[in-house]
Amino acid sequence: MIEFEHVRKAFGEHVVIEDLSLRVADGEFFVLVGPSGSGKSTLLRTVNRLTHIDSGRVLVDGKDVSTQPIETLRRGIGYAIQSVGLFPHRTVAENIGTVPRLLGWAAQEIDARVAELIALLKLDEPGMAGRYPDTLSGGQAQRVGVARALAARPKIVLMDEPFGALDPLTRESLQASVKSIQRDTGTAMLFVTHDMDEAFRLGDRVGLMLDGRLAQVGTPLELIREPANERVSEFVGGTR
């Protein structure tokens, strides 16, 4: 569903992604984990072309992303980031319904999907749908961002540390919600975090990024039981 073929990206002299190849399957929850600065966000952003690569190819559903109209590409891909970026002059319901509206869904369909996501993401405080972003807590705003990314049931979802600023309890409950929505919709998920516990809890497979390369790709158990080298075992062990 998402394929990286020999992707390279440098900012000036600084090579941030080096000859990286990876395939994320249909319906797979794939977590990219690694220390800050290892190139995770840059790699994620090549999929919806927020980052342009120097060489190699990125394919979505078998099609090279660089050959697709940008609007079509981005409408087909859910994207949620830590610094949310909700539209301030739109209500919670309007924010969540952004992509379905662009895709021309009927109003009742959009309302039903918004109500469903509000419940799934435990946003069901009275009047939530009609509230504006500046009346939300940080955690609620992040949940609305996640709901917006999932609203149109995209086949591909990218999430970049979407639970960053949340307390541990809220975070765990959201991890569970996102995992179950992903399973139900058969979405291919590419999820970025620097937190090994989060990676192991969520990932069908996990890719550990170190200095712009995938040091190891495998199931959580494989990384724990058979770390490919010293640095992998340090990272796996060190944050647990």
Q: Which stretch binds Mg ion (CB under 5 A): 34-42, 64-72, 98-106, 224-232?
A: 34-42
Residue 123: name its binding partner from Mg ion, ligand ADP, none (Cβ under 5 to 8 Å by kind).
Answer: none
Task: Tell me how far, at minimum, the Cβ of 158 lies from ligand ADP, in Å.
Answer: 12
Both tokens assigned to 218? 């495998």
Task: Tell me how far, at minimum, the Cβ of 228 lies from ligand ADP, in Å.
Answer: 19
Binding site for ligand ADP (CB under 6 A): 11, 16, 34, 36-42
Crossing angle (nearest 10°) for helices 168-185 and 138-150 = 10
| Rounded-to-integer distance, Cα 237 and Cα 240, Å | 6
Residue 4: closest CA among 75, 70, 71, 53:
53
Residue 67: name its binding partner from Mg ion, ligand ADP, none (Cβ under 5 to 8 Å by kind).
Answer: none
Both tokens assigned to 209? 């990024």
Residue 114: closest CA among 80, 86, 150, 84:
150
Q: Which stretch binds Mg ion (CB under 5 A): 41-49, 101-109, 169-177, 195-203?
A: 41-49
Residue 44: closest CA among 62, 11, 20, 68:
20
Crossing angle (nearest 10°) for helices 168-185 and 107-120 = 140
Residue 154: name its binding partner from Mg ion, ligand ADP, none (Cβ under 5 to 8 Å by kind).
Answer: none
Of 22, 30, 34, 41, the one binding Mg ion (CB under 5 A) is 41
| Rounded-to-integer distance, Cα 56 and Cα 51, Å | 13
The answer to whether 193 contacts Mg ion (rule: CB under 5 A) is no
Task: Tell me how far, at minimum, the Cβ of 101 lies from Mg ion, in Å.
Answer: 29
In terms of CB distance, is 129 or 158 closer to ligand ADP?
A: 158
Chain residues binding Mg ion by CB under 5 A are 41
